[in-house]
Amino acid sequence: MSACVRIRHDHTAHSSPPSRASGIKRPHSPPPLRRGGRFRIAGADLSASITVFLIAVPMSLGLAVAMDAPLEAGLISAAVGGIVAGLLGGTPLQVSGPSAGLTVVTAELIQIYGWRTTCAITIGAGLLQILLGSLRAARGALAVSPAIVHGTLAGIGVAIALAQLHIVLGASPQSSAAANALALPEQLGRTSPAAPLIGALTISVLVVWPRLPGRIGRAVRRLPAALASVAIATAVTAVAAPGIARVDLPSWRSHALPELPQGPVLALATAVLTVLLVASLESLLAAVAVDKLTADRAGGRTADSSPPAPDAPAAPRVQRSDLDRELRGQGIANVLAGLLGGLPVSGGAVRSSANVRAGATGRAATVLHGVWVLLAAGLLVTALEWIPLAALAALVMVVGFQMVNYAHIRNVHKHREFLVYGATITGVVLFGVLEGVAIGIAVAVAVALHRLARTRITVTDQGGQHLVVVRGQLTFLAVPRLSRTLGQLPRGGDAVVELDGFFMDHAAYETIQDWSDAQTAQGGRVVFTGRSGGRIAEPASAAHSCCRPWTPWRNHHCHDRPDRPGQPVDARRAAATRAAFAPDENPGADRGPADSAGAEADARAADATAGPTGRSDTPGDGAAVPRRTGAHRLASGLSSFQRNTAPLVRDELARLAREGQRPSQLFITCADSRLVTSMITASGPGDLFTVRNVGNLVPPPGSEAGDDSVGAAIEYAVDVLKVESITVCGHSGCGAMQALMGTRPDTPRTSLWRWLRHGLPSLERMTSRHHAWARISGRLPADEVEQLCLTNVVQQLDHLRAHESVARRLAEGALQLHGMYFHVGEAQAYLLAEGASAGSGVDEVFDRVGPCDPNHAHPYDITDLSDPTSLTALGDPGDHAAVSVPTGAAGPADPTGSGELERTSA
């Protein structure tokens, strides 16, 4: 069984895109207006707005301190970002405010041009954001390499942390990150202990607060960690260090408003572009992160990986972001913030993630948070002036450290882009944001050109036959070296050319094809292979590659509609399949190097014109065609097999017919139609001896209610076929397990009831206190049905060991047992730990089976960009001594009728 299966992450499939007239909104369409135009406030929005407000006030003051801007400017930006961007933006749950990413840029602008000109620069950047949003250019902003984006944010985070460290030490920051780093040794030598101790206390509370244990910890964690840390530091300062520097909010009468910018035009334009770039990228990336957080919440996944209770109310569905509208809303907010003398505004991951986790359902939470900030700016001035500057600096320093995200570093390293990431960070820290981005782009282009031009060609003499291995992309840059290497081979000799790359341009194709024709004309034989070593021109049955499926199952509904000229998908795919895999009609000549590549390109082109179900999305092809049912559908499916698949497997099946079946394993699984055993195990004809029944049950031998059909299959597989292993495979959403849990004493004695009695031991095992619960590595089971599905696999393995033939082969060491669980919705397989499968292990843990090439992570997966409230480490559920899973209703598994089953690990 091969685990080398490339996994797709498509969670939804639509047969065709919705038309504009249908009223169905596209993924990033503007949210519809509420009927009647009323602004509704839910209770969840009110509580979420208070939570975000408690985070936003200290964060806004801290960023103003970090930028050396008027402190009231931070409160103005928080209020404007919440109210204006909340009402007009395209991400309902995103909370905007002072930009953490612009901390260094704004501080430099204030130092060079002064505060009033900086406000004018903010207005100019906002106007450009409105223009770009109107031109629908938001998606283009996300086309920048993720390594450059994350490197820019990480470089800004390093600069923020270095600057705030000086304030924590009781001094003032220098003009640049490099100067801050060089001045640290001197600053450490003349530091008074008061400010550093307050900063250390703030950071300690930030780290410890989300980890407070017990009921008291759960209660106090409702207060945001940012507010708790600042409040505790303020209280300690009032008692222990009353003379330390504190927040000084000047009178609103002295608040400075913008003026016409003064300075060199080119320098001012560069400043406007820098603010535009950083603010827009930060907002758009935060919007993508909010979409992911919202989707996780709607799917029942939370930050602590704990499954929701079955009776818990479903999370409200929130529409995905309209990024162009979001960019316009951010632009309007920046214009207004600049006019009122506020800091630059952008969407923030800290406030937004707190808003989503607090249960916000719409814009009301974002807008109300801005209202509370506005009220606090006018009514809580005296209370805010008690806050020590060292506490705010420590809070912002933690934000800077979190912008250097280890997950991002690991991701760019996995994709071999760490050089781009490191160059961007270095450029931002040493020279500035715009210069760092330019350096990152230059390095990214250089790396891409190096990879494109880097082609390794080796020749090995294998006793009269030469093996030519070409690694890398074949472009015109590699043609001279390729032509020279091929020209050195003996004319008319045999050669195998292994092409290990994903691109070949026309110049390289012509070079290889001309050389191949010349060799063939002189009596030689040239065979072209791919990375797996199988011949490109040979049938699929002879190429043992895990990436060649036996059947075109992805388009298995294509035969449900009649073939017609306007639907080219099946024809192109069939042509591509025949070109790539069918045997040569002329055995004297081998195919050229691009035959397979061209066939695969045609297949990809067909995929591009086909929707997720394989139907063409081109005009004229989208008309609904009634799907065939019954005998017609069966006949059309058989015809599709004879036309497309039979030519590919005929040779292999002929060999199996001559030699007989020699399966390596017995596979016992459920009869569920969604479980395609050959697909999930990457197996073909003759590999599995499969037994399918309702609930993948193995009745114990010799019992009065035994079942001879399953026992006969086990005996035949073990004693006659001599299989080497037996696998019991359960799956998610098993209807048999659901029916088993819903069994009542008055259930009719039907055939299904009599069969499900074989699953009662699994139900008893799950409720027993003498067995540890089976679980999935990394998380708890989603609900009691999934728990029973896992436990059922373990119980059926025990039944298997009771069979005489199985016990005998196990004692001889000639047979192995395996437990498997397949999650249908995630297309993810899990294998039971070896000790538990053998019956000797205590912990019954199903471990996740990973793909061979897991390089499909979303490049902008930045759920938590810089959130000091999300420092909770996720633990393995196996670390807990006791867990409880609530059940939906009392049944035979719950004799007390309480509706809740509790388990203490044995």
**pLDDT per residue as tens digits for the range 651-672:** 888 888 888 888 989 999 999 9
The tens digit of pLDDT for each residue in 224-257 reads 888 888 899 999 988 888 888 888 777 666 677 7
Report whether pLDDT(565) > 90: no
> pTM higher than 0.85, yes or no?
no
Q: What is the pLDDT of residue 288?
A: 80
Q: Dmax over Cα atoms in the chain, in whole Å?
A: 96
Q: Which residue has the tokens 């920051």?
A: 173
Confidence bin at 842 (pLDDT 50/70/90): low
Strand segments, DSSP code E, in 684-769 are 688-693, 725-731
Q: Which residue has the tokens 């008061």?
A: 194
CB atoms within 10 A of CB 230: 26
Active site residues: 670, 672, 674, 731, 734
How far CA 11 is from CA of 14, 17, 616, 822, 867, in Å, comes to 10, 16, 20, 16, 28
b/e per residue, 629-660, with b = 16+ CB within 10 A?
A: eeeeeeebbeebeeebbebbbeebeeeeeeee
> Rounded to an integer, what distance in angstroms lies between the CA atom of residue 743 and that of residue 737?
10
Burial of 848 (0-12, 13-18, 19+ CB in 10 A): middle
Average pLDDT over residues 210-217: 84
Report whether pLDDT(389) > 50: yes
Average pLDDT over residues 747-756: 83
Q: What is the pLDDT of residue 315?
A: 53
Out of 142-156, 656-670, 781-795, 805-819, pick the least confident: 142-156
Out of 46-50, 121-125, 549-553, 583-587, pick the least confident: 583-587
Report whether pLDDT(292) > 60: yes
Report whether pLDDT(566) > 50: no
- Which residues fall within 8 angstroms of residue 641, CB to CB, at 6 or more apart? 551
Question: Considering the chain, what percentage of its residues have pLDDT values greater than 70?
Answer: 74
Q: In what order do the strands lie in the sheet with 775-776?
A: 688-693, 665-670, 725-731, 816-823, 828-832, 845-848, 775-776
3-state secondary structure of 457: strand
Q: What is the pLDDT of residue 729?
A: 95
Confidence bin at 737 (pLDDT 50/70/90): very high
Question: Considering the chain, what percentage of its residues have pLDDT values greater than 90?
Answer: 19
Q: What are phi and psi of 405, to 5 degrees?
A: -90, 125
Confidence bin at 79 (pLDDT 50/70/90): very high
Strand segments, DSSP code E, in 501-563 are 526-529
Q: What is the pLDDT of residue 534?
A: 46
> Rounded to an integer, what distance in angstroms lies between the CA atom of residue 132 and that of residue 284?
13
Average pLDDT over residues 858-865: 38
CB atoms within 10 A of CB 868: 28
Q: What is the pLDDT of residue 254?
A: 67
- Which residues fall within 8 angstroms of residue 785, CB to CB, at 6 or more apart? 733, 734, 737, 738, 741
Q: What's the mean pLDDT when you consider all of the chain?
A: 75
DSSP for 207-274?
HHGGG--HHHHHHHTTS-HHHHHHHHHHHHHHHH-TTS-B-----GGG--------S-HHHHHHHHHH
Q: What is the pLDDT of residue 471?
A: 85
Report whether pLDDT(632) > 60: yes
Average pLDDT over residues 124-132: 94
HSE toward the beta carbon, residue 809, CA cutoff 13 A: 22
DSSP category for residue 725: E
Q: Which of 25-34, 247-256, 783-792 has the highest mean pLDDT?
A: 783-792
Rg of the Cα atoms in the chain: 33
Q: What is the pLDDT of residue 500?
A: 79
Q: What is the pLDDT of residue 27?
A: 40
Q: Looking at per-residue confidence, does 845 or 544 come out higher? A: 845
Q: What is the pLDDT of residue 128?
A: 95
> Rounded to an integer, what distance in angstroms lies between the CA atom of residue 697 and that of residue 706?
11
In the structure encoding, which two tokens stand for residue 196, read together?
């550093």
Q: What is the pLDDT of residue 545?
A: 39
Q: What is the pLDDT of residue 355?
A: 84
Q: What is the pLDDT of residue 873?
A: 31
Average pLDDT over residues 435-461: 85
In the structure encoding, which two tokens stand for residue 863, read together?
């759920």
Out of 428-437, 439-448, 693-702, 732-741, pick the least confident: 428-437
Confidence bin at 800 (pLDDT 50/70/90): very high
User: Which amino acid appears at position 155 of this protein?
Assistant: G
Confidence bin at 120 (pLDDT 50/70/90): very high
Report whether pLDDT(559) > 70: no
Q: What are phi and psi of 458, to 5 degrees?
A: -125, 150
Confidence bin at 508 (pLDDT 50/70/90): confident
Report whether pLDDT(576) > 70: no
Of the candidates 730, 718, 759, the one whose C-alpha atom is nearest the C-alpha of residue 742 is 759
What is the pairing mode between strands 494-500 and 526-529? parallel
Report whether pLDDT(865) > 60: no
HSE toward the beta carbon, residue 470, CA cutoff 13 A: 27
Q: What are phi and psi of 691, to 5 degrees?
A: -120, 125
Give how far the C-alpha of residue 679 lies from the chain's centroid of Cα atoms, to the nearest Å.
Answer: 23
What is the pairing mode between strands 665-670 and 345-347? unpaired
Average pLDDT over residues 782-788: 88
Confidence bin at 541 (pLDDT 50/70/90): very low
Q: What are phi and psi of 861, to 5 degrees?
A: -85, 80
Question: 738 — alpha (psi -120 to 50), left (phi > 0) or beta?
Answer: alpha
HSE toward the beta carbon, residue 174, CA cutoff 13 A: 13
Q: What is the pLDDT of residue 160?
A: 82
> Rounded to an integer, what distance in angstroms lies between the CA atom of residue 113 and that of residue 106?
10
Q: What is the pLDDT of residue 839?
A: 67
Q: What are phi and psi of 650, to 5 degrees?
A: -60, -45
CB-CB contact of 898 with 890 (8 Å): yes
Of the candidates 74, 390, 396, 105, the one whose C-alpha atom is nearest the C-alpha of residue 249 is 74
Out of 282-286, 486-490, 768-772, pick the least confident: 768-772
The tens digit of pLDDT for each residue in 361-375 reads 888 989 998 999 988
Specify the DSSP element, H or E, that contains 278: helix 265-298
Q: What is the pLDDT of residue 117?
A: 92
Report whether pLDDT(626) > 80: no
> Rounded to an integer, what distance in angstroms lies between the CA atom of residue 199 and that of residue 168?
6
Q: What is the pLDDT of residue 587?
A: 36
> Rounded to an integer, what distance in angstroms lies between the CA atom of residue 461 and that of residue 459?
7
The tens digit of pLDDT for each residue in 180-194 reads 888 888 888 777 888
> Rounded to an integer, what distance in angstroms lies between the CA atom of residue 214 and that of residue 216?
5
Q: What is the dihedral of CA 558, 559, 565, 568, to 10 degrees?
A: 30
Q: What is the pLDDT of residue 598?
A: 40
Q: Looking at per-residue confidence, does 484 or 571 come out higher? A: 484
Q: Which of 175-189, 793-807, 849-863 has the highest mean pLDDT?
A: 793-807
Of the candidates 779, 552, 715, the one whose C-alpha atom is nearest the C-alpha of residue 643 is 552
